């Protein structure tokens, strides 16, 4: 059985690869289990050296990986290069971890109590198609640094850079069996990893719906689970903000990666007195977005990932939708969809409530700080968000009041290698990146030594 991998910009076949199923998942877990005792026993400085070596090998392969990711995921080549840079940085960051995984000593009667952070064993990593290798790296690097062995299951639409990674890791000296990639469907290969008794933990990024099924499945064996799920993040723009800067940043924050971004700030909340001026400025930016060939250096936005995804996105923009701004998109082959802004919308509209995961944003007006916070929190999600204002106290008040894992003030960025990332509410639980990610790949052990 094979897996057909397509290029979303042309709809043409990019690769045919073997399709992993239950048997391949079992074999990968067995390899990872066999490799675990030796990998956890590698001296901390040696494990660090191996991970720095892997980071160097990834840096050397950066352009090839970027080209492959751009073609397979349909993302602009400039974005793909940036993402591969983050992959390298993530490995460099966690390469420092093996020698810095510290414990505590705790004063107790009759002896000494101390804590250790032990690796979990075999960890399954299940990832989505929107940032294929980047999101895999957020899990791979801390998992390996902590002494675990891994089985990575990339999304079936975008498995190519993960398979490249497996080869690069081996060539960089990571011992056989430590990194295993299985490219197959979630319903068979992925589900098997979730139920497998020899898998200690599942680190999942994907939709809230699949996340629910994974949490339920993992409960059977009391597996550790971290879930990075969907979002519907609010970009709150107050009338006293630098409106030109807020409008210029709002487009990329909603339409970057063709809106297929869990952190997409796809609900733009604007204080009423500034609404008209904001919409005028936003229109100029949206109309200037160059949608086209991902490999063209001038492209800002590529196609959607698949015909199915385009159909889903289009269902949020029926003929009678309140389209206030519409950009352009190529015609012909490729899963194209123009950047689209809906306004006015009702807070109950489907486009306001559901994650669209495409280049469609809604703009909603508000009259007060309290209303802005209430609107921002009126969602099952809580992943990211932004506040734009020149009033520092208001910025911090609102930042604290919005129920979201990641928030930016006068900026729309969400993700940094050194800072924790993850969701509130149904956007998931657990944190990736930053120092905190290591907690999710280790178990805390308490040892008492009677003196
Ligand atoms: P998805 O949930 O359909 O699939 C994600 C992964 O899970 C894929 O590898 C898939 O094969 C696998 N899978 C599917 N069913 C499974 C099952 N029953 N058991 C085990 N594995 C299974 O998500 P997607 O469509 O690939 O990605 C889009 C979604 O991901 C969006 O909702 C988006 O918000 C979310 N996402 C979240 C983050 C985050 O960090 N919070 C980042 C990127 C994407």
The runs of H, that is alpha helices, within 288-409 are 307-314, 350-353, 369-377, 392-401
CB-ligand 1 contact for 228 (6 Å cutoff)? yes
Residue 300 is predicted with a pLDDT of 98
Model's pTM, two decimal places? 0.98
Neighbouring-strand partners of residue 119: 442
Check pocket membership of 210 for ligand 1, CB cut-off 6 A: yes
Q: Which of 129, 133, 207, 228 should be mutated for ligand 1, with most atoms under 8 A from CB? A: 207
Pocket test for ligand 1, best of 5, 128, 416 (most atoms within 8 A of CB): 128
Q: CB count, 10 Å around CB of 444?
A: 11
What local confidence, expressed as pLDDT, does residue 194 receive?
98
Helix (H, G, I), strand (E, B) or coil at 447: strand
d(CA 447, CA 175): 30
Which residue has its alpha carbon closest to ligand 1 atom 42? 262
Q: Is 132 in the pocket of ligand 1 (CB under 6 A)?
A: no
pLDDT at 262: 97
Report whether residue 237 contacts ligand 1, using a CB cutoff of 6 Å. no
pLDDT at 72: 98
- Is there a catalytic annotation at residue 355? no
User: 172, 182, 119, 116: which is closest to 149 by C-alpha?
Assistant: 119
Q: What is the CA radius of gyration of the chain?
A: 23
- Atom 15 in ligand 1: residue holding the nearest Cα: 186
Of 24, 228, 271, 432, which is the active-site residue?
228
Catalytic residue at 369?
A: no
Q: How many angstroms does the Cα of residue 48 sit away from the middle of ligand 1?
A: 30
Distances (CA, A) of 244 to 248, 274, 372: 6, 11, 20
pLDDT score for 80:
98
3-state helix, strand, coil in the chain (%, to 5): 45, 20, 35
User: Which residue is associated with the tokens 């199915």?
Assistant: 308
Q: Using CA atoms, how far apart are residues 360 and 264, in angstroms rounded to an integer?
A: 10
Give, for all 451 residues of the chain, the pLDDT tens digit: 899 999 999 999 999 999 999 999 999 999 999 999 999 999 999 999 999 999 999 999 999 999 999 999 999 999 999 999 999 999 999 999 999 999 999 999 999 999 999 999 999 999 999 999 999 999 999 999 999 999 999 999 999 999 999 999 999 999 999 999 999 999 999 999 999 999 999 999 999 999 999 999 999 999 999 999 999 999 999 999 999 999 999 999 999 999 999 999 999 999 999 999 999 999 999 999 999 999 999 999 999 999 999 999 999 999 999 999 999 999 999 999 999 999 999 999 999 999 999 999 999 999 999 999 999 999 999 999 999 999 999 999 999 999 999 999 999 998 999 999 999 999 999 999 999 999 999 999 999 999 9
Which of 139, 206, 310, 437 is the best mutation target for the ligand 1 pocket, counting ligand atoms within 8 Å of the beta carbon and taking the most?
206
Ligand 1 contact via 345 beta carbon (within 6 Å): no
Please tell me if the CB atom of residue 417 comes closer than 6 angstroms to any atom of ligand 1. Answer: no
Distance from the alpha carbon of residue 430 to the mean position of ligand 1, in angstroms? 16
CA distances to 23, 127, 132, 207, 302 from 73, rounded to whole Å, are: 27, 13, 8, 17, 9
| Cβ(77)–Cβ(66) below 8 Å | yes
* CA 389 to ligand 1 center in whole angstroms: 34
Write out the two tokens for 379. Answer: 């969602």
> Distance between CA 415 and CA 80 in Å, rounded?
15
């Amino acid at each position: 059985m094979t897996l057909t991998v397509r290029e979303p910009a042309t709809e043409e076949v990019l690769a045919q690869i073997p399709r992993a199923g239950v048997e391949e998942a079992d074999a990968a877990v067995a390899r990872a289990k066999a490799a675990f005792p030796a990998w956890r026993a590698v001296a901390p400085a040696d494990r660090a050296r191996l991970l720095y070596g892997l980071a160097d090998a990834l840096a050397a392969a950066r352009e090839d990986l970027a080209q492959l990711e751009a073609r397979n995921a349909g993302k602009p080549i400039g974005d793909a290069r940036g993402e591969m840079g983050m992959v390298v940085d993530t490995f460099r960051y966690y390469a420092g971890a093996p020698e810095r995984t510290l414990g505590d000593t705790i004063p107790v009667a009759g002896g000494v109590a101390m804590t250790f952070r032990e690796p979990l064993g075999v960890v399954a990593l299940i990832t989505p198609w929107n940032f294929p290798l980047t999101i895999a790296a957020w899990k791979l690097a801390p998992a390996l640094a902590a002494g675990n062995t891994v089985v990575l299951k990339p999304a079936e639409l975008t498995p190519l850079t993960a398979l490249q990674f497996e080869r690069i890791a081996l060539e960089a000296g990571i011992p056989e069996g430590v990194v295993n990639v299985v490219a197959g469907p979630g319903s068979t290969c992925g589900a098997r990893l979730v139920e497998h008794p020899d898998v200690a933990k599942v680190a999942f990024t994907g939709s809230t719906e699949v996340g629910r099924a994974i949490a339920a499945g993992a409960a059977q064996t009391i597996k550790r689970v971290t879930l990075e799920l969907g979002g519907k993040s609010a970009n709150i723009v107050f009338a006293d903000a630098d409106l030109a800067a807020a409008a210029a940043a709002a487009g990329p924050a909603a339409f970057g990666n063709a809106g297929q971004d869990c952190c997409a700030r796809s609900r733009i909340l604007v204080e009423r007195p500034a609404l008209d001026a904001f919409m005028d400025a936003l229109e100029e930016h949206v109309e200037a977005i160059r949608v086209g060939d991902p490999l063209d250096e001038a492209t800002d936005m590529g196609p959607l990932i698949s015909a199915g995804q385009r159909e889903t996105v289009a269902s949020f923009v029926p003929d009678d939708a309140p389209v206030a701004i519409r950009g352009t998109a190529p015609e012909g082959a490729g899963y194209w969809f123009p950047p689209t802004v809906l306004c006015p919308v009702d807070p109950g509209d489907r486009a306001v409530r559901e994650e669209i995961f495409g280049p469609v944003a809604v703009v909603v007006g508000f009259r007060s700080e309290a209303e802005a916070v209430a609107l921002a929190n009126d969602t099952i999600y809580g992943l990211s968000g932004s506040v734009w204002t020149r009033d520092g106290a208001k910025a911090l008040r609102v930042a604290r009041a919005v129920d979201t894992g990641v928030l930016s003030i006068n900026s729309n960025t969400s993700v940094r290698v050194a800072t924790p990332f993850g969701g509130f509410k149904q956007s998931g639980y657990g944190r990736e990146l930053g120092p905190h990610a290591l907690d999710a790949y280790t178990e805390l052990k308490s040892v008492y030594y009677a003196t």
